[in-house]
Chain A
Amino acid sequence: MSDKAYFGRRYMLSASHRLHSDALSDEVNRTTYGKCNNAYGHGHNYVVEVLVGGAVNPETGMVMNMVDLDKTVENTVLTRFDHTNLNFDPLFVKRVPTTENLCREVFQLLKDALPADQLSYVRIEETENNFFQYEGE
């Protein structure tokens, strides 16, 4: 029997973005992204849900110390993206900051910062009604 368990935590960040692809004409951008293509951008309170999984440490009873996860997410994700315009982040200079792409980038940043094989998925809720989830390749 495996003793793997999962631990999830939710974080919030407020950021703005504009969906616009340089590979598309202005007109196609407009029809593809609609109001999300408005020139000055708009914003969201994104909820970032992080799930980590692993064996329960017999000494602590934990999959991972919540304090450590908080620190990692704060340092690698929240400090970087909270109260910013995503389009100006180097990661999104050549990539549209859709929440799909944000989700993949956040996953990669956290994967690199957390102990190997601990990150299970990253889910980002853009509004109460839509969310995106990435579990790696």
Chain B
Amino acid sequence: MIELTRRATFSASHFYWNEEWTVEKNEQVFGRCARRNGHGHNYTLEVTVAGEPDPVTGFVVDLKWLKDVMEREVLDAYDHRHLNMEVAEFAKVIPTTENIAIAAWTRLAGVIGQGVNGTAVAQLSRVRVYETPEIFAEYRGGQ
């Protein structure tokens, strides 16, 4: 088993707000991230797949295919978007880095686990989302 990781970047805006809480509590817990006009980040999405290299191609997955999957499933939905306002899964879920990692996993898991013609069948191993170079969240499908 070998792991293979690909990175991509997207730029998006967001804010943190829990509708169940008072304004004061939101501001106390989320600080400047609660400002309702939002703010933004350059996110880095890191997707790791695991599998055996195909005996013919030597690939765990075709990297061009993985790039296309990441673009189609995640970047097309998140890049240059306001996550709270424009991305369905964050209408009721706060788009923290943790939740973005989980949501990206959910978007990718159904596609990557299936394999494609001409590529070895690899499993999604982990999704890591960097909000800044110093902060990231990682999800391994609940493992």
User: B-contacting residues of A (Cβ < 8 Å)?
Assistant: 12, 14-17, 35-36, 38, 40-45, 82-85, 87-88, 127-128
Ranked 3 nearest A-B pairs via Cβ: A43-B40, A40-B82, A16-B13
Please list 24 pairs of residues, one from A and one from B, whose beta carbons are closer than 8 Å in the complex, sorted by A's number: A14-B41, A14-B132, A15-B40, A16-B39, A16-B82, A38-B80, A38-B82, A40-B81, A42-B12, A42-B13, A42-B81, A43-B11, A43-B12, A43-B13, A43-B14, A43-B39, A43-B40, A43-B42, A82-B39, A84-B35, A87-B37, A127-B42, A128-B9, A128-B42
- Within the complex, what minimum Cβ distance (angstroms) separates A52 from chain B? 24
The chain B residue sitting closest to A125, CB to CB, is B42
Chain B residues in the interface with A (C-beta under 8 A): 9, 11-14, 32-33, 35, 37-42, 79-82, 85-86, 132-133
In whole Å, how far is A44's beta carbon from the nearest beta carbon of chain B?
A: 5
Task: Give the tally of cross-chain contacts (CB within 8 A).
Answer: 76
Chain B residue nearest in CB terms to A85: B37
Q: How far is the CB of A93 from chain B (nearest CB, A)?
A: 13
Which residue in A42, A45, A82, A127 is a CB contact (below 8 Å) of B32?
Answer: A82
Whether A85 lies near B13 (C-beta < 8 A) is: yes
Known: A45-B132, A85-B13. A17 touches B40 (CB 8 A): yes
| Contact status B79-A35, CB under 8 Å | yes
Contact A41-B42, Cβ < 8 Å, known A14-B132, A83-B32, A127-B9: no
A82 to B85, CA, bound (A): 20
B81 adjacent to A85 (CB under 8 Å): no
A45 touches B42 (CB 8 A): yes
Cα A41 to Cα B11 in complex, Å, equals: 10
B35 A83 Cβ-Cβ under 8 A: yes
Roughly how many angstroms separate A87 CA and B37 CA in the complex, as a whole number? 9
